[in-house]
Amino acid sequence: MSLWKLALLIALFNLMTFGNGPVMIPLLQTHLVEGTRVLSQDQLLYAFTIARVTPGQANFYVASIGYMLYGMPGAIVATLAIILPGYIMIPLLHGFEHLRDSRWIEGFTKGLTVTSVGLILAAVVQIARGTLTQPVAWLVLIAMLVMTQLLKWKTFVALAAVSCLGLLLKWLL
């Protein structure tokens, strides 16, 4: 896959998902990990983790993917691919009145969002088959869910805690 094809794919996925970071995961999984195999499963997961612990826009983890595949030029091209569609804002600012009010666009994004919930969960199942090969990994996954959802810990703290837990269990078992 050439750099330009990667840029085109990222630009396309970003447009389709309205720039929503998590929603791009199933698309990237299918096209970069399973389809063309240019990216390993671990790389995609690591990139997504970066998105969860950094400030700022949540779809910037594509810069990480760009960097993994093509170094700094890849990172910059990937970033431009998700930033440039933002300029659609300028014409919209001048003639938005009817568009902003559009129930159709609202319904479209709603449909997109709820569909993506199913797609993301399907991607999770697929990724889990390849990634969670050890029982310890399952325990870490469950611990992470509990810490972030039930205990409401900060992502970074929970990440550090489950990493320690994983290492400890691995060492014990």
Partner 1 sequence: MDANSSVGLELLNHFYQSRLTVERAAPIAEGGNRLKRSEDKEKRSREQGTRLTRGELFWIFLKAGFAFGGGLGILAVLEDELVDKRLAVTKEEFLTIYGIGRIVPSGTMTALAVAYGYKFGGLSGTVITLAALSLPVFVLTIALTIAYHYLRNSRVFDLLPVTIMPAALALIVVAALKLGKDVFRPSRELIFAGVAFSFALFLRLNPAFILLAGGVLGAFALRRIDVEDRAKKKGSEK
Q: Which of residues 47-66 bind partner 1 (CB under 8 A)?
A: 47-61, 63-64
- Count of residues near partner 1 by CB under 8 A: 108
Shortest approach of partner 1 to residue 138 CB, angstroms?
7
Site for partner 1 in 154-173 (CB under 8 A): 155, 158-159, 162-163, 166-167, 169-170
Cα–Cα separations (whole angstroms), residue 119 to 122, 123, 129: 5, 6, 16
Q: Which is nearer to partner 1, 4 or 145 (CB)?
A: 145
Long-range contacts of 145-152 (CB under 8 A, 24+ apart): none
Site for partner 1 in 17-36 (CB under 8 A): 17-23, 25-27, 29-31
Helix 135-145 with 155-172: angle, nearest 10 deg? 150
Question: Which helix (H) or strand (E) segment is 5 a member of?
Answer: helix 3-16
Site for partner 1 in 78-97 (CB under 8 A): 79, 82-90, 92-93, 96
Site for partner 1 in 129-148 (CB under 8 A): 131-134, 136-138, 140-142, 144-145, 148
**Per rule CB under 8 A, is residue 117 in the interface with partner 1?**
yes
Contacts of 48 (CB under 8 A, 6+ apart): 21, 22, 25, 61
